[in-house]
Amino acid sequence: MKRIQKNPDMLEEYDFNKGVQGKYAKSYVEGTNVVIIEPDLAKVFPDHDSVNQALRSLVEIIRRHKKLA
């Protein structure tokens, strides 16, 4: 059996016996919608709902501005 190198971040009580390798590989290859925001923005927008609300407001402003132009 191949000896696995110990990772200092992995605790002995972690049990991966029922884990499935590659469970999300297909969806990852197809693309993801995860967006990483900078820490200063994360303080202002603490969750996905606040980010979505701000972006929808911005989209509405842009649409109104285009109609006026």
How many domains are there within the chain? Answer: 1
Tell me, yes or no, whether 42 lies in a domain: yes
Helix intervals (H) in 1-69: 25-30, 39-44, 48-68
Joined tokens for residue 28 = 């990852």
Identify the helix (H) or strand (E) that includes residue 16.
none
pLDDT tens per residue, the chain (69 residues)?
566 677 888 888 888 888 899 988 888 888 878 888 999 999 999 999 999 999 999 999 999 999 887
Whole-number Å distance between alpha carbons of 42 and 50: 10
In a domain, 3, yes or no: no
Does some domain include residue 50? yes
User: In a 3-state reduction of DSSP, which class is residue 38?
Assistant: coil
Whole-model pTM: value is 0.52
Which residues form the domain of 43? Answer: 37-68
Is 51 inside any structural domain? yes
Residue 16 lies in a domain: no
